[in-house]
Amino acid sequence: MTIEVRKVETKKDLKAFVKFPFSLYKDSKYWVPPVIMDEMDTLNKDKNPVFDNAEAHYFLAFKGPEIVGRIAAIINRFETEKQQLKKMRFGWFDTIDDIEVSKALMAKVEEIGKQNKLEFIEGPMGFSNLDKVGVLTEGYDSIGNMATWYNYPYYVEHLKHLGFQPEKVYVESLFLVSELKNLRFQKAYDLIIERYGYKPVSFTKTKDLLPYLDKMFDLFDDAYQKLSTYVPINQKQRDYYKKKFISFVNPEYIKFVLNADDEMIAFAVVLPSFSRTLQEIKGKLFPFGIFKLIKAKNNPDSLLFYLIGVHPKYQKKGVTAVIFNEFFKVVLKDKIDTCIRTPELENNLAEQQIWKDFNAKITKKRKTYKKDIV
């Protein structure tokens, strides 16, 4: 049957784009659905401020009346113009197991890349470092999380068949609090506080957390700007992400560290794991989904280490010991055992160093894939 690729033009089209994975993965125990309303806003040019510096084109593949694939072609203008990185991004890539569908979708991405005089395609990835990244290459038989895409194993074969090569490798891991023994950060905490004058900041109310968030984003820039994947986040995007994630945040799981001059030098954003709840509500906040998410937020059985950042000047001065000591006080109080780390670049040695004492087990790997188009 002939494959027809159509550009998403209307709100109805966009909703079909967002909902396609719900049918593709309806029998999967491991796929974690997004919140449909949130996903619609993320992809909406009128609601997501990332489009001040980016453009995106969305496509659906059809066999007759049936949707069989989707893809987003993304250009980050900061990346292509200011960084002079001639990269065409693709993301939100899903397809049935038919190489011709993948071929037709990727042809649209390649066409847009060439029209814009870009030199290569890389993905899957979103608009920035705070979006999902990578096609799953290992760990298909364990549940995903709200910060990652899930996919079937055949995706990798499709990309290879179409001439894509692995570019970046990301690892995800898990550790159990009950298995942690003789942790150095617990022993060194008092000495480090006394020596450097660090000031840990913890919260019980969300409103007390809000004044620190812009400082956190400033530090995020400082901590991550040297990574090859990094694209800065402007103030409008910061405000958008605050609004997007604040409802998922339990303030007790957010930790900041200040130096003796009250400058923020480290942060940890840890979220309740909503995976099972998101599967249960099937992407719908109403009428009851929102209440189930609130319950999961206040009574989590596992946690997601979403983001950790340390100022480069302090990366070897014990600041992570302070973060982890403060965090584990809460974990032990709430009797949470399972901690999950979201994707981290395998070659980000500074990040890997943070976790060396945790005996974390790698549970998943994912990669971005690259193809030259010149």
DSSP code of 85?
Answer: -
What is the DSSP annotation of 276-289? HHHHHHTT--TTTH
| Structural tokens at position 66 | 């049936």
Task: Quick: pLDDT tens for 264-316.
Answer: 999 999 999 999 999 999 999 999 999 999 999 999 989 999 988 999 999 88
pLDDT above 90 coverage of the chain, percent: 78
d(Cα 31, Cα 340) in Å, to the nearest integer? 16
What is the CATH superfamily name and number for domain 175-365? Gcn5-related N-acetyltransferase (GNAT) (3.40.630.30)
pTM of the model: 0.93
pLDDT band at 107 (very low <50, low <70, confident <90, very high): very high
Q: What is the mean pLDDT of residues 27-34?
A: 98
d(Cα 213, Cα 210) in Å, to the nearest integer? 6
Which among 228, 105, 120 has a CA at the least distance from the CA of 155? 105
| Structural tokens at position 32 | 């974690």
**Residue found by looking up tokens 């090859």 in the block:** 228
Is residue 130 within 8 A of residue 233, CB to CB? The reply is yes
Which among 101, 102, 75 has a CA at the least distance from the CA of 87? 75
Q: 321 versus 124: which is more confidently predicted? A: 124
pLDDT of res. 89: 98
pLDDT of res. 70: 99
Residue 353 has pLDDT above 80, yes or no: no
Three-state DSSP state, 272:
strand
CATH fold match for the domains 3-171 and 175-365: yes
279, 284, 286, 291 alpha-carbon torsion, rounded to 10°: 30
CA atoms 78, 83, 87, 89: torsion sign: negative
Task: Quick: pLDDT tens for 60-71.
Answer: 999 999 999 999
The most distant pair of C-alpha atoms in the chain lies apart, rounded to whole Å, by 71
What is the CATH superfamily name and number for domain 3-171? Gcn5-related N-acetyltransferase (GNAT) (3.40.630.30)
Q: What is the mean pLDDT of residues 325-343?
A: 91
Residue 132 has pLDDT above 70, yes or no: yes
**Residue found by looking up tokens 């660090």 in the block:** 198
| Structural tokens at position 312 | 């480069």
What's the length of the chain?
A: 374
| Structural tokens at position 76 | 């980050």
Residue 227 has pLDDT above 80, yes or no: no
d(Cα 262, Cα 260) in Å, to the nearest integer? 6
Domain ranges of the chain: 3-171, 175-365
d(Cα 235, Cα 25) in Å, to the nearest integer? 36
pLDDT of res. 228: 64
Tell me the three-class secondary structure of 111-177, residue by residue: HHHHHCCCCEEEECECCCCCCCECEEEECCCCCCCCCCCCCCCHHHHHHHHCCCEEEEEEEEEEEEH
Cβ within 8 Å of residue 282, ≥6 positions away: 22, 33
Which among 314, 302, 259 has a CA at the least distance from the CA of 32? 302
pLDDT of res. 182: 64
Q: 228 versus 252: which is more confidently predicted? A: 252
75: left (phi over 0), alpha (psi -120 to 50) or beta: beta
Mean pLDDT of the chain: 93
Which among 142, 85, 55 has a CA at the least distance from the CA of 361? 142
Residues facing residue 270 across a β-bridge: 305
For residue 309, report the phi and psi dihedrals to the nearest 5 degrees. Answer: -140, 140
Min mean pLDDT across 121-135, 140-154, 194-208, 215-229 is at 215-229
d(Cα 325, Cα 170) in Å, to the nearest integer? 26
Task: Quick: pLDDT tens for 208-225.
Answer: 999 999 999 999 988 888
